[in-house]
Structure 1
Amino acid sequence: MPAEFEAKVLDIDPAAMADLILSRGGSEVSASTLQRRYVYDIVAGDESRWIRLRDNGTKATLAVKEISHDGIDGTYEVEVTVDDLDATNELLGFLGFHPKSYQENRRTSFTLDGAQLEIDEWPMIPPYLEIEAGSPEEVRRVAALLGFEESQLTSENTTKVYKRYGIVLGEHEVVSFS
């Protein structure tokens, strides 16, 4: 599985962050879009590996994610595009995988100096910025372009980010704005 190189800056102001990214030469790729996803355990209780089926408004993807550690290079992902979110969910059900949760977030996407930047807004927690690039060094470099030091970055997954705010994500079968 290929590694993802990404880090988050927590508790941001989305409008101010968008302005900052654009002022540093970034470009908006897509305006705020509702993303819907189903999350499935591969092995019940194992939070280090899971299946994610997500619709970002323009395409649906199926991914297996694995976390080996909380560093910038600690998450591995294999992702494919699928034609239909509901049909893929049904197919996974036939294979014995049933979603443990349905989740929504809003995402605004940017590029900056070769990196992908996402402003993510989730129910119940403050918004955060995600920086993904081709290497850990590139993630840190782009973060520095925005004025962030490495000590301000976290590579914790969304479940752990929720825990920072006293919320156990696994206790919520539905995480939605409605």
Structure 2
Amino acid sequence: KLYVSDLQAVAQRLEAAGAELTAPRIYERNVRYDDGMGRFSRAGSVLRLRQDTRVRLTYKADKTEVQEGVTSRSELEVEVSDFDTMEAILNRLGFYSYMIYEKYRTTYTLDGAEIVLDEMPYGNFVEIEGNMDAIRRLLPRLELDGAPRYTDSYTRLFDYVCRNLNLNIKDLTFANFESVDVPESALQTPSA
């Protein structure tokens, strides 16, 4: 993840470079689940139900590799037809929702890589998904090689923001951050 202050400038550079807009700006609602023992959270794994233009259930394993500020992890995902029914199934299987998070996402493709522009309640980010060579080529081309990089998940960064700013917020929603000014320094790992 690359922290940027101006997503519009990144979008303009993408368009000037010939990127294809594959998904215009869309609102995403994400709900994370765990079992009664908290095994997913403790293991660094994610069980997530996401609704945007589709509904998907995703399992992400713990990070397997971080190389040059790029995170790699295995992921399984299935599309489901109904958010509420899938949520009811998860609840009946013993999973509970412990966090809701929102974002707006715009997606481009360029040179075999997927570039997403994410608007989070606490800041703006760019993620580039592709092989290392494509990522290395795109960073300077999009003038992102000097942007601060974060390998933590958006929810982990949310935890850092809450701890650094002394916020008592359970869900990562735009409403919860409406009157909160979040400096980039709040994304840093809190000191003990």
In the alignment, residue 34 of structure 1 is paired with which amino acid? Y
Give the distance between the partners of 2:159 and 2:65, measured in 1 at CA.
14
Hey, what does 2:24 align to over in structure 1? 31
Give the distance between the partners of 1:174 and 1:23, measured in 2 at CA.
36
TM-score normalised by length of structure 2: 0.76
Question: Any conservation in 1 of the 2:111–2:134 contact (CA below 8 Å)?
Answer: no
Greater C-alpha radius of gyration: 2
Structure 1 runs not aligned, ≥5 long: 1-7
Between 110-119 and 138-147, report the one with greater CA deviation: 138-147
Summarize the Cα distance change of 1:9–1:107 in structure 2 as closer, same or farther, 3 Å threshold. same
Residue 80 of structure 2 is aligned with which of 67, 71, 82?
A: 82
Instruction: Give the count of matched residue pairs.
Output: 165
Give the root-mean-square deviation of aligned CA atoms.
Answer: 2.2
Question: Any conservation in 2 of the 1:64–1:78 contact (CA below 8 Å)?
Answer: yes
TM-score normalised by length of structure 1: 0.82
Hey, what does 2:180 align to over in structure 1? none
Give the distance between the partners of 2:16 and 2:59, measured in 1 at CA.
35
In the alignment, residue 154 of structure 2 is paired with which amino acid? T
Between 137-146 and 97-106, report the one with greater CA deviation: 137-146
Question: Any conservation in 2 of the 1:73–1:136 contact (CA below 8 Å)?
Answer: no
In the alignment, residue 57 of structure 2 is paired with which amino acid? L
Hey, what does 1:67 align to over in structure 2? 62
Residue 107 of structure 1 is aligned with which of 105, 108, 111?
A: 105
1:131 aligns with 2:124: no
Question: Any conservation in 2 of the 1:12–1:129 contact (CA below 8 Å)?
Answer: no
Question: Any conservation in 2 of the 1:27–1:112 contact (CA below 8 Å)?
Answer: yes
Hey, what does 1:5 align to over in structure 2? none
Summarize the Cα distance change of 1:103–1:78 in structure 2 as closer, same or farther, 3 Å threshold. same
Hey, what does 1:13 align to over in structure 2? 6
